[in-house]
Amino acid sequence: MQLDVESLRTLLAVLDHGGMTRAAEHLHMSQSAVSWKIKRLEERVGRTLLIRDGRAIRPTRDARALMADARTLVEVHDRAAARLGDTELNGSVKLGSNEEVDPTRMASLLGRFKRIHPGATIEFVIDHTEHLVGHLDQGAIDVAIIQVDDDRLRTSDTILWTDELRWVTGSDTPPDRSGAVSLITFGEHCFYRALSEPVLEAAGIEHTVTYSASSISGVRAALQAGLGVGVLGSRYIGDDIVAWRPGDDLPRLPVVHQIVRTVPGDTPAVAAALVDAISAELLDPQSPALSR
């Protein structure tokens, strides 16, 4: 029997975060990828590891017995990989990212990169995609993790995952009696707002922005609280956030790609190494982007 470290990492994420949806968010995978890794691990050990009780997921006795060893194996693997990958790579990189990447996971990624490349200096900022594109083209940052549609995708971009934008709302959102759609956005520079509002206007649907947040957590909280309708990638649809049914009658929103893009021109070695690390950590093997 050979245990797969990444499957063990996925099992721990499911148990630590209380379910497939939150584990997928933490690992920045699709829920199908998480389920596939758990299924493969159960097939390898020949035992059931998770019990699904309605919405709740709990470990079997075998999973509880495995957890301590799984943590040790994952930690030893990561420490050995960091030690073997140690290099004399030097230089500084300014990295920008939109909020589609979990900042906790990004901090962990950058921490590992720093341990492997102690001579490298990374400055990390979170901003809207529109701002990051401008900063990148001006050379103000070196690498950006951003979201673009097909029309703005460049051949030099590295696609991490692809998702379809959907109209969404909270599962407990009460019916709107005002006749106008209460719109939840990421603010004035919201990438989705420029795509969604023209669709509502073309359909003659009256709407008003009632809640704006600068973060994905703020938008999700507003949706879960039942404050209105918004646009998110389909990966966010789950127990508390559901498809907005009137949106099914509207023209389909575009497919978007989460990508890594570097500043135009030659890419320094330290920036190239960082792009490789980001791709290795965040690329979703289940994303349809790989079959484009």
* Residues 52-99: tens digit of each pLDDT: 877 788 899 999 999 999 999 998 888 777 666 655 678 899 999 998
Residue 276 neighbours by CB under 8 Å, 6+ apart: none
**pLDDT value for 146:** 95
For residue 102, pLDDT beyond 90: no
**pLDDT value for 284:** 73
For residue 281, pLDDT beyond 90: no
Task: Give span(s): CATH 1.10.10.10, the chain.
Answer: 5-84
**DSSP 8-state code for residue 254:** P
pTM recorded for the entire structure: 0.66
Main-chain phi, psi angles of 237, to 5 degrees: -70, 130
Cα gap 152→190, rounded to integer Å:
16
pLDDT confidence tier of residue 177, bands split at 50, 70 and 90: low
**pLDDT value for 88:** 65
For residue 287, pLDDT beyond 70: no
**pLDDT value for 290:** 35
For residue 194, pLDDT beyond 90: no
Average pLDDT of the chain is 87
Distance of CA 208 to the CA centre of its chain: 28
**Which element (helix H / strand E) includes 208?**
strand 207-212
Any long-range contacts for 58-61 (C-beta under 8 Å, 24+ apart)?
Answer: 59/15
Q: Which of 187-201, 252-266, 275-289 has the lowest mean pLDDT?
A: 275-289
Cα gap 153→142, rounded to integer Å:
18
Cβ pair 57, 50 in contact under 8 A: yes
In this structure, what token pair is assigned to residue 259?
A: 């990508």
User: 146: helix, coil or strand?
Assistant: strand
Question: Which has more confidence, 188 or 211?
Answer: 211
Under CATH, which number does the domain 92-292 receive?
A: 3.40.190.290
Residue 66 neighbours by CB under 8 Å, 6+ apart: 8, 11, 45, 49
Cβ pair 20, 57 in contact under 8 A: yes
pLDDT in tens, 108-162: 899 888 888 888 999 999 998 989 999 999 999 999 999 999 999 999 999 999 9
Distance of CA 164 to the CA centre of its chain: 13
Task: Give span(s): CATH 3.40.190.290, the chain.
Answer: 92-292
pLDDT in tens, 234-280: 989 988 999 999 999 999 998 999 999 999 888 888 999 999 999 88
The CATH number corresponding to 5-84 among 3.10.20.600, 1.10.10.10, 2.40.50.140, 3.40.50.300 equals 1.10.10.10
pLDDT in tens, 6-46: 999 999 999 988 888 888 888 888 888 899 999 999 999 99
Q: How far is CA 104 from CA 25, 164, 187, in A?
A: 11, 24, 23
Q: What percent of the chain has pLDDT over 90?
A: 49
For residue 175, pLDDT beyond 80: no
Q: How far is CA 132 from CA 148, 151, 268, in A?
A: 12, 17, 19
For residue 289, pLDDT beyond 50: no
Distance in Å from the first CA to the final CA of the chain: 35
pLDDT confidence tier of residue 292, bands split at 50, 70 and 90: very low
Q: How far is CA 191 from CA 99, 131, 234, 245, 288, in A?
A: 12, 10, 16, 22, 22
Please, which residues bridge with residue 143 across strands? 95, 262
Please, which residues bridge with residue 105 across strands? none
